[in-house]
Amino acid sequence: MNNTIDVEKRNTVEELAMKTIDMTPTWQTIVTMCCEVMTNPNAGREAQESCKEELLGLAKIVDDQNASIHEIYYGRKTTLGDIIEEERKKGNLL
């Protein structure tokens, strides 16, 4: 029995072994799964805490991006005081 592998077949096997598939879920998928876990009465505490951490992490990323965009657009970061003053001018706050 010949134990040698045809060079062409070997290259094909090596190429297949080297391929990587990105299975990273989208944030929409993560949020959907987390909502399901957090509303499932049978979900474990650890799973619910993990989902909470993921959602809070996402919220921080979005808040940081919004702050960066605001800083680029207005040239400075907005403070809570800025928001209150703006809303008072609009008549939305006393």
Spatial distance between the Cα atoms of 85 and 94, rounded to a whole number of angstroms: 10
Do 87 and 78 contact (CB within 8 A), yes or no?
no
- Given a contact cutoff of 8 angstroms between Cβ atoms, the answer to whether 77 and 67 are in contact is yes
Q: State pLDDT tens for residues 22-73.
A: 888 998 999 999 999 999 999 999 999 999 999 999 999 998 888 888 777 7
pLDDT tens for 71-88 read 777 777 777 888 888 889
Q: Could you give the CA distance from residue 5 to residue 2 in angstroms, rounded to a whole number?
A: 8
